[in-house]
Amino acid sequence: MINSKRVKKLNKKPLQKGEYVLYWMQAAQRAHYNPALEFAVEQANEKNLPLLVFFGLTPNFPEGNARHYYFLLEGLARVKEDLGDRGIELIVWQTEPFAGVKKLGERALMVVTDGGYLEIEKTWRKQAAIALECLLVQVETNTVVPVEEVSSKEEYAAYTFRKKQKPHLPRYLVESEQIPIKKKSLNFFDFPSIMLSDLDRIIGDLKIPSSPGRVEKIKGGTGEALKSLDYFLDNKLDKFHEKAGDPAWDWQSGLSPYLHFGQISPVYVALKTLDRESPGEEDFLEQLLVRRELSFNFVNFNPFYSGPLEKMLPEWAWNTLRSHENDSREYLYSTEEFENASTHDEYWNAAQKEMVVTGKMHGYMRMYWGKKILEWSRTPENAFSLCLYLNNKYNLDGRDPNSFAGVSWCFGKHDRAWTERYIFGKVRYMNEKGLERKFDMGKYLEKVGTKKLF
């Protein structure tokens, strides 16, 4: 039984006489530990109807490119296989999602969808809620605790969020039951679907930017996500609190792309972590439960998460950056120089190279990377836009609430005022000497140095 707090009606339309229940899958691209899917199965079984699952593959998701879509499509191929094993049909159309939902909704008893918090995801759901003649229900799938259950407003920082979230965790960190479907939908519907066997052809048909290309060493899909989780828990969790913050080591979980595309459940990850009773558990769960879900709070309640800075940042951060906007810069780089990793700083260049080649960047280096873009850009606004552009273009977990929160942190979001200094004002400063004091940066350069840029 799905926790009722996860369920939210998005319109006041009635149930209509329908041939099936429709699950509009968008943010949660998985058949495993998916509350929206299981809720839809419950509804279909109650009415003795089959369940149809729909995914709208749009080429118009902001800043999407071939790198992102290959990973997404690899995941959808696994979803189709997993749903097929349960007797449930997945329909994938190249269309704007709300348009596909409207068409399929004409024959549906009701429509169930998963929760999305970026502006485009909210817009799709609003459009569908208006266009549909039947009930549209949203079920929170990609956070442990539903965003609005934790707080009804934007939280100032992790410490304010943490204390509000903690009392709710026991009700949501529970095992998920996979409910058998009573009436199968395979080979029952006459709707054509994109065949997910030829990904190169699909990418070509979408006419999206072909660069950056596919990351061959990181495959999408729930199966790959579960393997990555098991490897992390078996080999890295016990030393996570000691090594994860060091860029010289490859000690992070590697789960962020899978969480971004909804290919793995954060509830499942948390439960499997808690089972280990490991010394690294607390630090890892701080990242998964507090920092990640704080970012969902941020994008849900702050419509300016992608700018402008004046409306997104706390007042102290905006004022201090603005007061130092005309400070002279020792270095100024163009977008092309940043993108090509052509600065004077070998550590920054290595971080940029790591992201361009591998589709990910070590978390500590991403903070340093963003701080230096602020230092070497003409204005804070230019720096912020450039950070988002590069991060969202190259990282597999780009365009995510975590990405917007992480980049914003470099400019003072979810942080406090520090000692005032040139360019940064009271915003936290980072430099290469700090990296060298804390880490073996030679080892980091060696790790990244063998990779070819472009």
How many alpha carbons lie under 13 Å from residue 274 in its C-beta half-sphere?
A: 14
Give the helix ranges, DSSP H, for 305-400.
Answer: 309-312, 315-323, 335-339, 346-358, 363-375, 380-394
How many Å apart are CA 13 and CA 11, to the nearest integer? Answer: 6
* CATH code at 309-449: 1.10.579.10
How many Å apart are CA 303 and CA 314, to the nearest integer? Answer: 14
53 strand-pairing partners: 23, 90
Residue 46 exposed, middle or buried by CB count within 10 Å (0-12, 13-18, 19+): exposed
Per-domain boundaries in the chain: 309-449
Residue 450 confidence class, pLDDT cut points 50, 70, 90: low
Closest Cα partner for 141 from 49, 229, 23?
Answer: 23
How many Å apart are CA 46 and CA 409, to the nearest integer? Answer: 46
How many Å apart are CA 202 and CA 96, to the nearest integer? Answer: 15
Radius of gyration of the chain (CA): 22
Task: List, for residues 58-77, the tens digit of each pLDDT value.
Answer: 999 999 999 999 999 999 99
> What pLDDT score was predicted for residue 452?
55
Average pLDDT score, the chain: 96
How many Å apart are CA 394 and CA 154, to the nearest integer? Answer: 28
Rounded to the nearest 5°, which phi and psi values hold at 191? -90, 125
Task: List, for residues 315-348, the tens digit of each pLDDT value.
Answer: 999 999 999 999 999 999 999 999 999 999 999 9
- 320, 416 contact by CB (below 8 A): no
Task: List, for residues 218-241, the tens digit of each pLDDT value.
Answer: 999 999 999 999 999 999 999 999
How many Å apart are CA 371 and CA 135, to the nearest integer? Answer: 46
- Compute the Cα dihedral for 338, 341, 347, 351 and give only its sign: positive
Q: What pTM did the predictor assign? A: 0.96
- 451, 353 contact by CB (below 8 A): yes
Q: Provide the 8-state DSSP code for 428.
A: -
Return the SS3 of 254.
coil
- The token duo for 329 is 């810069």
